[in-house]
Amino acid sequence: MFRLLPPPRTIEVAVAAILFGGSFATASAAGERPALPRALVGTWTLVAADVRHPDGSIGHDYGAAPRGSMMVDAAGRYTLMIYKSERPRFASGDRATGTPEEYRDTALGMSVHYGMLSADVKAHTLTFAIEQASFANWNGTRQVRQYQLQGKVLRYTVAARSNGDIPISVWRKVD
């Protein structure tokens, strides 16, 4: 059986209208972020994770054969994983009983984070709004990277580290 409810009082209608209207205003403001170019949406595989040293030389930040994947959806949600493929296995076979060196190699042998990605096409910048990262200091931060997109190849640089090294990531689109 259906019951008819009494009509809402005027103040309740006004409060509901304010709250409902406020949610539209918030959604509208959130929708004003720069649109993500369609060319960035998809699945990417890591081609290179290099580093340019202050003297101009190039090194391999995650070893000679880094592995990685980045996925970006149309709403700008992303996940990104970079791994050094030469990471040593734990001698004990149990990650809960690793040595300090094994833990260090594990921590320094990966960069993993997820969150929201936006792009400023005119300025050639990507902004990673990082929700969570393997390096906890990045949680809740926004990081801007200069990028170039040529066909199915995306290349971006990370801000210089305190020692002057500039990480360079190169990705190839696979879909």
* 27 lies in some domain: no
Quote the pLDDT of residue 12.
41
* 11 lies in some domain: no
**Residues in a beta bridge with 105:** none
* 128 lies in some domain: yes
Quote the pLDDT of residue 34.
56
For the chain, state the CA radius of gyration: 23
Chain centroid offset of residue 106 CA: 20
Residue 144 near residue 33, CB atoms below 8 Å: no
* Domain span at 39: 35-173
Phi-psi label, residue 140: left if phi above 0, alpha if psi -120 to 50, beta otherwise: left
Quote the pLDDT of residue 35.
73
Residue 138 near residue 13, CB atoms below 8 Å: no
* 5 lies in some domain: no
67-72 vs 42-52, strand pairing mode? antiparallel
Quote the pLDDT of residue 175.
78
What CATH number is associated with residue 97?
Answer: 2.40.128.280
Q: What is the dihedral of CA 130, 132, 50, 55, to 10 degrees?
A: 70
Please report, for residues 30, 115, 118, the alpha-carbon distance to residue 129 in angstroms, rounded to integers and kept in the order given.
Answer: 13, 6, 8
Residue 45 near residue 172, CB atoms below 8 Å: yes
- Residue 50: name the closest of 39, 38, 59 by CA: 59
The HSE-up count of residue 171 (CA atoms within 13 Å, CB side) is 25
58-60 vs 67-72, strand pairing mode? unpaired
* 101 lies in some domain: yes
* 14 lies in some domain: no
* Structural domain count of the chain: 1
The residues of the chain scoring below 50 in pLDDT are 1-31
Which tens digits make up the pLDDT trace of 126-148? 999 999 999 999 999 999 999 99
* 18 lies in some domain: no
Which tens digits make up the pLDDT trace of 153-173? 999 999 999 999 999 999 999
* 151 lies in some domain: yes
